Amino acid sequence: MRIEIYKGASDTNLLTAQQSRDFAGNFADLTANGQILVYSNPSMAVSSIYDLNSKSSIPILSSPTIVDPGSEAQVFAINSLGQMVGQQGSNAVFYDSFHATPILMKELVENLGDWKIHQVSDISETGEIIVSAYGGMTTGEHALKFVPITPVPQPGTFLILASASAI
């Protein structure tokens, strides 16, 4: 199995033959400006971001202060602003940039109330984040969309705007 990435009408794969094989099965997401989210691969012990433009890899950092000692962060989605979302142990996390350590999602959301975030699944190019959360016995499990209060998201500026249908 191989991964091939082309730019425009070019017929030249932007990945080397070895990268095409290494990234197969480990490829998770791709930004509009050429960063690839790669789960652990033979050349790196942890998940990383591979930049097609600079031809370099950036390891994804875990936070030593998040509970679940020794847990490694796993990132599920990235956007062109360098923001990422994922899990570290049982905690949903947010990264403000490729080089940042993760921040707990529950610390970024205003007015979270009784909602408990279980899992984060995606982040849009504008910083909107989709999570699964539990609202209690009467509310149950829902998919929630967090929307940044400011046009360019900053840590601590998320607000629950709407909940989607129950999962």
- pLDDT of the residue at 69: 66
Q: What is the mean pLDDT of residues 67-95?
A: 85
Distance of alpha carbon 14 from alpha carbon 52, whole angstroms: 7
Q: Do residue 128 and residue 76 come from a single domain?
A: yes
The boundaries of the domain holding residue 98 are 68-166
> What are the DSSP E strand ranges found in 23-128?
27-30, 35-38, 48-51, 56-59, 73-78, 84-88, 91-95, 103-104, 109-110, 116-123
Q: Do residue 111 and residue 54 come from a single domain?
A: no
In-domain check, residue 2: no
Q: Do residue 25 and residue 77 come from a single domain?
A: no
- Predicted TM-score (pTM) of the model is 0.75
- Please give the full DSSP string across 127-166, using - where no structure is assigned: --EEEEEE--TTT-EEEEEEEESSSS--TT-EEEEEEEEE
In-domain check, residue 3: no
Residue 95's DSSP bridge partners are 84
Q: Do residue 86 and residue 147 come from a single domain?
A: yes
Q: Are 133 and 146 in contact (CB under 8 A)?
A: no
Q: What is the mean pLDDT of residues 112-130?
A: 89
In-domain check, residue 39: yes
At position 111, the amino acid (one-letter code) is N
Q: Do residue 85 and residue 103 come from a single domain?
A: yes
In-domain check, residue 6: no
Question: Residue 85: pLDDT band by 50, 70, 90 thresholds?
Answer: very high
Helices (H), 105-164: 105-108
Specify the number of domains making up the chain.
Answer: 2
In-domain check, residue 5: no
Mean pLDDT of the chain: 79
Question: Residue 65: pLDDT band by 50, 70, 90 thresholds?
Answer: confident
